[in-house]
Chain A
Amino acid sequence: MTSIISVQGLTKTYASGHQALKRIDLDIRQGEIFALLGPNGAGKTTLISIICGIVNPSQGVILADGHDVVRDYRAARTKIGLVPQELHTDAFETVWATVSFSRGLFGKPRNDALIEQILRDLSLWDKKDSKIMALSGGMKRRVMIAKALSHEPTILFLDEPTAGVDVELRRDMWEMVRKLRESGVTIILTTHYIEEAEEMADRIGVINKGEIILVEDKTVLMRKLGKKQLTVHLKAPLADLPAALADASLSLANDGADLVYTFDAQADDTGIADLLKRLSEQGIDFKDLKTDQSSLEDIFVSLVRAPQ
């Protein structure tokens, strides 16, 4: 698959000496939804800001749709739409004026029908003549998205799009992201809500302390790093594990009331049948069984906590 954004050896050192990005290499594929995950201060926003032209790179090259974002910024930026994390809006402008302004700024001729469509899709149409300062936070967020879409970008950056957003807007937003992807737009998003990345993204990149630790297909990542656990609720609690069950993948939990078995879900032989056989041999009765799969969040936490 062709890459629409290619980041090579990108380094950013701020004037304070803080190195926000350390030789980042990253390729975003055409038409995918790419989720960039990382704790606060990991460099997510710096990376996005450099690609979009808001922050100067210290070193490295970035190509957007084949255009160098510094030397050939005009061609590169025309393709890119950005929804920043903060709600930066012109308080005194109307919704219609500010969205039309964005389209002109990105070098596109006036197109009222398109702006109307965008505003309708974002449920902003009845607010088109309202001043932005009269809108709620959620509505302002919608305005920011409308501005970013006004020039029909083929690459869309969403920096923490759902931070502080109500359930309804979040649902609308993901609906919109899916539609955009279907129309061929590449979407790069950062988020704190890992379940959203889990639900939406095709690929996931994890960034920590200015370094990309991992880039992987979401499904592969979940398979590779995901663990499964079987919890056996015992009829009678055990004080200790019997010698016959002393096994690294077995442990007692919940004051001996639960027996927890960790296994590799991908293996041909998960060992569950064997475990159950051993339990009956030992005369241990159980009431119930439950299996859990680790979420992307668990994987993420273990990745960024892991000693580098």
Chain B
Amino acid sequence: MNLYAIKAIYKFEMARWFRTLAQSVISPVLSTSLYFVVFGSAIGSRMQAIDGISYGAFIVPGLIMLSLLSESISNASFGIYMPKWAGTIYELLSAPVAWYETVIGYVGAAATKSICLGLLILATARIFVPFEIAHPFVMLLFLVLTSVTFSLFGFIIGVWADDFQKLQIVPLLIVTPLTFLGGSFYSIKMLPEIWQKITLFNPVVYLISGFRWAFYGQSDVGVGVSLAMTAVFLAVCLTAVWWIFRTGYRLKV
């Protein structure tokens, strides 16, 4: 195991984060605060409680997930896309580094950023709405699993993208709609029956549902199913990354 390489990549990526701390941290925290002001306080006060949870508190897990997914993807995809774009990838390819070491470095750093951000948003949310976390360890487990899985997914997008536009397309056109439709702002039980069925094909539903269970002990789908689905997506992403490095897809000719 080339631990020095993992450390070097991780440090490099974290340094990049610290350089753009304002952009990386302040903007997600600010936008989440705006959601709480608008949906939590202003509109939320006129909304009915869902399953006995006030609307402001109800949207906390979903909002954290929303930021977690988009930040994980954008951080990790940018992290590997930049060296490809700038050409500095030559060094990574010529270094005595195994694929999993590269992935631990890049994805580990991206996931770290997401986890920090998730906790920060959680703290921010607590300022606006009162809530308690029923299962803090499960909450942390989901936080970590989701961050790692979607950082891996972002890494794949970063490898696949060959221009800046493609880098934005997947998060913008796929992930954001799936998150909004995944029950961030509503319980899927509020949907017409047919949409309740269709919505189960949306993987984000399981993430948000499981995460919400960790907070309030209530969920749209069983927490076991949520965990299993997250694990499946993690396994799929890992396989894809392994394949990328085995074939050199978009990295080597």
Residues of A within 8 A of B (CB): 14-15, 52-56, 73-78, 80, 82, 84, 86, 88-93, 97, 100-109, 147
Contacts and interface: CB of A to CB of B under 8 A. Distances in A.
B158 to A, nearest CB: 16
Contacts of A102: 8, 91
B5, B88, B94, most chain A CB atoms within 10 A:
B94
B93 A54 contact: yes
A106 B86 contact: no
Contact of B8 (A80, A91, A101): A101
Contacts of A73: 96
Interface stretch (B12-20, B106-114, B236-244): B12-20
A14 B8 CA distance: 32
Given A86-B87, A88-B90, A90-B88, A108 B96 contact: no
A107 B92 CA distance: 12
B2 A88 contact: no
Interface in B5-40: 5, 7-9, 11-12, 15-16, 19
Contacts of A15: 253
B94 A53 contact: yes
Given A84-B90, A106-B96, A147-B91, A14 B5 contact: no
Contacts of B4: 103-109
A110 B253 CA distance: 32
A90 B95 CA distance: 16
Contacts of B9: 105
Given A88-B87, A88-B88, A91-B86, A105 B19 contact: no
B211 to A, nearest CB: 34
Contacts of B83: 90
B86 A104 contact: no
A143 to B, nearest CB: 11
Contact of A105 (B8, B15, B86): B8
A56 B248 contact: yes
Given A77-B94, A77-B95, A78-B96, A105 B88 contact: no
A236 to B, nearest CB: 63
Interface residues of B, number: 27
Nearest to B10: A104
A107 B91 contact: no
B87 A105 contact: no
B91 A105 contact: yes
B13 to A, nearest CB: 11
A55 B96 contact: no
Contacts of B19: 92
A77 B253 contact: no
Interface string B191-211: 000000000000000000000
A80 B248 CA distance: 20
Contact of B5 (A90, A93, A106): A106
B47 interface: no
B252 interface: yes
Nearest to B95: A105
B94 A54 contact: yes
Contact of A104 (B8, B93, B253): B8
A147 B93 CA distance: 14
Contacts of B15: 93, 97
B97 interface: yes
Given A74-B96, A104-B4, A105-B5, 4 more contacts: A14-B253, A73-B96, A88-B91, A104-B7
A74 B98 contact: yes
Contacts of B248: 56
B34 to A, nearest CB: 30
B88 A82 contact: no
Nearest to B1: A107
A91 B86 CA distance: 9
Nearest to A80: B94
A89 B86 CA distance: 7
A88 B83 CA distance: 9
B164 to A, nearest CB: 16
A75 B96 CA distance: 7
Contacts of B95: 77, 105-107
Contacts of A53: 93-94
B135 to A, nearest CB: 39
A307 B49 CA distance: 86
Per CB-CB distance, the 6 closest pairs between chain A and chain B, nearest first, are: A104-B8, A88-B87, A77-B96, A74-B96, A52-B94, A107-B2
Nearest to B87: A88
A296 B98 CA distance: 42
B16 A92 contact: yes
Contacts of B252: 54-56
Contacts of A97: 12, 15
A19 to B, nearest CB: 13
